[in-house]
């Protein structure tokens, strides 16, 4: 009889443990957030201040919505960001609905259409 109760308690503990595991896993998933750059207005001019006041994490996704005939998104390094020149071999996104996952550290994006980056169509996003 005591054996039966012991095994029932073991099962209950296992169920509880599984429940906790699922809870932890779902928290991990919930922590990865998706941000629409520029919110409703999308990826546009004067975007440079958009990341201010937000806290990004590695694994979060940025969504860039824009007209691909008018803009693009280029992942650049700090020098490219500061100078508004995309280094050769930079990854260019041009679907108009690009989803880009943030890596840990600084992530820099510009629009490489002439004059757009100079018109503050650029963002620097720090992901923790
Ligand atoms: Cu542009």
48-76: average pLDDT: 98
Residue 9 has pLDDT above 80, yes or no: no
CA–centroid distance, residue 92 to ligand 1 (Å): 12
Residue 89: pLDDT above 60? yes
What separation in Å is there between the alpha carbon of 22 and the centre of ligand 1?
43
Ion ligand 1 — residues with CB < 5 Å? 71, 111, 113, 116, 121
Q: Are 128 and 83 in contact (CB under 8 A)?
A: no
Measured in Å, residue 67 CA sits from the centre of ligand 1 at 9
In this predicted structure, the answer to whether residue 116 has a pLDDT above a threshold of 90 is yes
Fold of 32-127: Immunoglobulin-like (2.60.40)
Output the CA–CA distances (angstroms, integers) from residue 57 to 21, 39, 43, 128, in the order listed: 22, 18, 20, 5
Of residues 96 and 18, the one with the higher pLDDT is 96
Residue 111 CA to ligand 1 centre (angstroms) = 5
**Poorest-pLDDT segment among 25-34, 46-55, 84-93, 101-110:** 25-34
Q: What are the tokens at 79? A: 């020098």
Please, what is the average pLDDT of the chain? Answer: 88
How many angstroms separate the alpha carbon of residue 73 from the centre of ligand 1? 8
**31 falls in which pLDDT band (50, 70, 90)?**
confident
């Amino acid at each position: 009889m005591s054996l039966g109760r012991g095994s029932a308690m073991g099962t209950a503990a296992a169920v509880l443990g599984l429940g906790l595991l699922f809870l932890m896993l779902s928290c991990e998933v919930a922590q990865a957030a998706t941000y629409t750059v520029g919110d409703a207005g999308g990826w546009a001019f004067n975007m440079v201040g958009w990341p201010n006041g937000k806290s990004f994490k590695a694994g979060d996704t940025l969504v860039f919505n824009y007209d691909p005939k008018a803009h693009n998104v280029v992942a650049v390094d700090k020098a490219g960001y500061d100078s508004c020149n995309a280094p050769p071999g930079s990854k260019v996104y041009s679907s108009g609905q690009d989803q880009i996952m943030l890596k840990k550290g600084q992530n820099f994006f510009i629009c490489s259409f002439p004059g757009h980056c100079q018109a503050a169509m650029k963002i620097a996003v720090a992901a923790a």
